[in-house]
Amino acid sequence: MHLPDLDIAKKRDKKENNYIELKENYKPVLKGKKYFLRTYGCQMNVHDSEALRNYLEALGLENTDLVSNADVIVLNTCAIRENAKDKVTGFLGKCHYLKKKNPNLKIVFAGCMSEQPNVINEIKSKHSYIDIVIGTHNLYDLPKLLLENFNKQTIEVYSESDEVIEGMHYNRDSQYTAWVNIMYGCDKFCTYCIVPYTRGKERSRKLEKIVEEVKRLKENGYKEVTLLGQNVNAYGHDIGETFSHLLECVAKTNIERIRFVTSHPWNFTDEMINIIAKYKNIMPYIHLPIQSGSNEILKRMNRRYTREEYFELFTKMKEKIPNVSITTDIIVGFPNESEEDFQDTLDMVKKCQFDGAYTFIYSPREGTPAAKMTDNTKMAVKEERLHRLNELVNYYSNQSNQKLLGKVVEVLILGNSEKDNSKVYGYTDTMKLVNVSGPKEIIGQIVPVLITDAKSFSLDGDYLKEKVKN
Ligand code: 5AD
Ligand code: SF4
């Protein structure tokens, strides 16, 4: 049994990365049994779930979308805000009920919540029906733990890791677009954020391994890769590499579309901007979290830039990368945020006119520095600020979508539209969602689409057989 510890998770030693090449070969000994997997949270978790799915299926388990049919339930959890935890707790109620009906059911708790000592204490005291808890650093322990014949709760969570895993297999959700991990962890320690504790220290995969993975994906018909890291522009600092060099090498594989998330404004270099501008297959889309427009709040958040520096970078990107779309994340109600601080945030939204923004009310995370700061701002005030912010943010994303009305854009078609089954859906190079009238045969292709309607969060369009010049 290994339990998490935030003090250990906070440590950043100078140890070299330990590259581990997994050699996995499992027998389908659980054939005939079914698993149900639910994922909460960010793209990193979504991608981790593709690895968990691979392990489950390598053991012979089959996917079911009906939780009551499952022999194994896996929850891949998120710790970023309290409401993510509330959703998990709600679902655990259902798992408990199913376990009472079927004592052979195995319940696996994975993901970022496993890395929080307070959560583990709750699991031990209130959720003894959970069979296995694994952390974010040792997903590869899942098969071993599932096959072990134990009858008490097993918790295998490591707080630190110097491991960089290679040779991981994934059962990817899509045949056309793939997540590719380029690094693990985060060293930024923004004062509100739990991620540096749950995901450990920043460590980069080897450049050749990433490029190899992209080449293989391309050979297998993938049209798009998204390079994944908590903070992709810090890629390579631990191994004498740079993100701009990686981007250039990935661009040279000639895969059709390359994206990357998430970028931090602090170390986004001119070289990176130049490379993005230079290669047509690097998509003109940057997710660049600002978090707040107030210099005082940014300082207390430990974001390492001022509003002026953010705007300078933003302007440079807009000038140098043709047609670039920039989206952001914003937190309202950070401890003791004043109305004036909030007005600074609204002001930055007006200046930048973001193509889109994810907005959140600050949620204290136990063990982070911000959770100890005094906060005299009432929740009702925070909610009202979020509402005002959302109105402004939605206005600009609508404006940005309206600009595409009547234009022909390239869309990578990913599948049937959820809203209207007679349509298909996909994304523009600038990451805008489009519901497209067109035949199912175009799924998996990048096709020209005439934009016929624009809303705040999506576009409608018609597939054009012949490309018409704008
Ligand atoms: N409370 C609210 N939002 C948060 N985020 C990260 N930590 C918190 C928190 N404690 C937001 C940030 C980040 C995004 C992924 O989640 O905006 O960019
Ligand atoms: Fe969290 Fe900041 Fe790291 Fe992003 S950069 S994961 S917000 S600590």
- How do residues 188-215 score in pLDDT, each as one tens digit? 999 999 999 999 999 999 999 999 999 9
Same domain (yes/no): 287, 381: yes
Domain membership of residue 166 (yes or no) is: no
**Per-residue pLDDT tens for 24-70?**
889 999 999 999 999 999 999 999 999 999 999 999 999 999 999 99
Same domain (yes/no): 42, 120: yes
Cα(194) to ligand 1 centroid in Å equals 9
Q: pLDDT at position 338, please?
A: 97
The bound ligand whose nearest atom lies closest to the alpha carbon of 79 is: 1
The bound ligand whose nearest atom lies closest to the alpha carbon of 363 is: 1
Residue type, 25: N
Domain membership of residue 314 (yes or no) is: yes
Same domain (yes/no): 149, 198: no
Q: pLDDT at position 420, please?
A: 87
Quick one: three-class SS letters along the chain? CECCCHHHHHCCCCCCCEEEECCCCCCCCCCCCEEEEEECCCHHHHHHHHHHHHHHHHCCCEECCCHHHCCEEEEEECCCCHHHHHHHHHHHHHHHHHHHHCCCCEEEEEEHHHHCHHHHHHHHHHCCCCCEEECCCCHHHHHHHHHCCCCCCEEECCCCCCEEEECCCCCCCCCCEEEEECEECCCCCCCCCCHHHHCCCCEECCHHHHHHHHHHHHHCCCCEEEEECCCHHHCCCCCCCCHHHHHHHHHCCCCCEEEEECCCHHHCCHHHHHHHHHCCCECCEEECCCECCCHHHHHHCCCCCCHHHHHHHHHHHHHHCCCCEEEEEEEECCCCCCHHHHHHHHHHHHHHCCCEEEEEECCCCCCCHHHHCCCCCCHHHHHHHHHHHHHHHHHHHHHHHHCCCCCEEEEEEEEECCCCCCCEEEEECCCCEEEEECCHHHCCCEEEEEEEEECCCCEEEEECCCCCCC
Among 156, 186, 219, give the residue marking a domain's end.
Answer: 156
Cα(83) to ligand 1 centroid in Å equals 12
Domain coverage including residue 451: 408-467
Same domain (yes/no): 275, 420: no
Domain membership of residue 112 (yes or no) is: yes
Same domain (yes/no): 308, 184: yes
Q: Ligand 1 within 6 A of 360 CB?
A: yes
Q: Ligand 1 within 6 A of 55 CB?
A: no
Among 384, 402, 420, give the residue marking a domain's end.
Answer: 402
Same domain (yes/no): 199, 50: no
CATH code (residue 436): 2.40.50.140
**Per-residue pLDDT tens for 375-409?**
999 999 999 999 999 999 999 999 999 999 999 99
Domain membership of residue 1 (yes or no) is: no
Own/partner pairs for 27-33, CB < 8 Å, 24+ apart?
A: 27/59, 27/60, 28/58, 28/59, 28/60, 29/59, 29/60, 29/147, 30/59, 30/60, 30/61, 30/71, 30/72, 30/146, 31/60, 31/61, 32/60, 33/60, 33/61, 33/62, 33/71, 33/72
Q: Whose CA is nearest to atom 18 of ligand 1?
A: 329
**Per-residue pLDDT tens for 163-187?**
999 989 999 999 999 999 999 999 9
Q: Whose CA is nearest to atom 2 of ligand 1?
A: 362
Domain membership of residue 445 (yes or no) is: yes
Same domain (yes/no): 432, 382: no
Q: Measured in Å, how far apart are the chain's first and last C-alpha atoms? A: 62
Cα(244) to ligand 2 centroid in Å equals 20
Q: Whose CA is nearest to atom 7 of ligand 1?
A: 193
Helix-helix angle 270-278:307-320, to 10 degrees: 30
Q: Ligand 1 within 6 A of 289 CB?
A: yes
Own/partner pairs for 387-395, CB < 8 Å, 24+ apart?
A: 388/346, 389/330, 389/332, 389/342, 389/345, 389/346, 389/349, 389/359, 390/359, 392/346, 392/349, 392/350, 393/330, 393/349, 393/354, 393/356, 393/357, 393/359, 394/456
Domain membership of residue 55 (yes or no) is: yes
Dig out the tokens for 115 from the structure: 């890395």
Q: pLDDT at position 161, please?
A: 87
Domain membership of residue 101 (yes or no) is: yes
Cα(415) to ligand 2 centroid in Å equals 32
CATH code (residue 339): 3.80.30.20
Q: pLDDT at position 138, please?
A: 94
Backbone angles phi, psi at 452, to 5 degrees: -110, -20
Q: Ligand 2 within 6 A of 196 CB?
A: yes
Which atom of ligand 1 is nearest the CA belonging to 365? 10
Q: Residue 229 and residue 24: Cα distance in Å, rounded?
A: 24
Mutate which of 136, 183, 190 for ligand 2 pocket (most atoms within 8 A of beta carbon): 190
Burial class (CB in 10 A: 0-12, 13-18, 19+), 10: middle
Same domain (yes/no): 275, 396: yes
Q: Ligand 1 within 6 A of 80 CB?
A: yes
Q: Residue 230 and residue 118: Cα distance in Å, rounded?
A: 23
Cα dihedral 326, 225, 184, 18 sign: negative
Q: Ligand 1 within 6 A of 301 CB?
A: no
Residue closest to 94 by CA, chosen among 72, 67, 120, 54: 67
CATH code (residue 35): 3.40.50.12160
Which atom of ligand 2 is nearest the CA belonging to 230? 6
Cα(235) to ligand 2 centroid in Å equals 14
Cα(461) to ligand 2 centroid in Å equals 36
Q: Ligand 2 within 6 A of 189 CB?
A: yes
Same domain (yes/no): 91, 146: yes
Cα(187) to ligand 2 centroid in Å equals 8
Residue type, 219: E
Same domain (yes/no): 377, 232: yes
Total number of domains in the chain: 3
Backbone angles phi, psi at 93, to 5 degrees: -55, -45
Cα(80) to ligand 1 centroid in Å equals 6
Among 354, 369, 402, give the residue marking a domain's end.
Answer: 402
Weakly modelled stretches of the chain, pLDDT under 70: 466-470
* Count of other CB atoms within 10 angstroms of residue 45: 20
Q: pLDDT at position 151, please?
A: 76
Same domain (yes/no): 274, 347: yes
Q: Whose CA is nearest to atom 17 of ligand 1?
A: 329
Residue type, 120: I
Cα(289) to ligand 1 centroid in Å equals 10
Q: pLDDT at position 470, please?
A: 44
Q: pLDDT at position 465, please?
A: 82
Same domain (yes/no): 450, 380: no
Domain membership of residue 352 (yes or no) is: yes
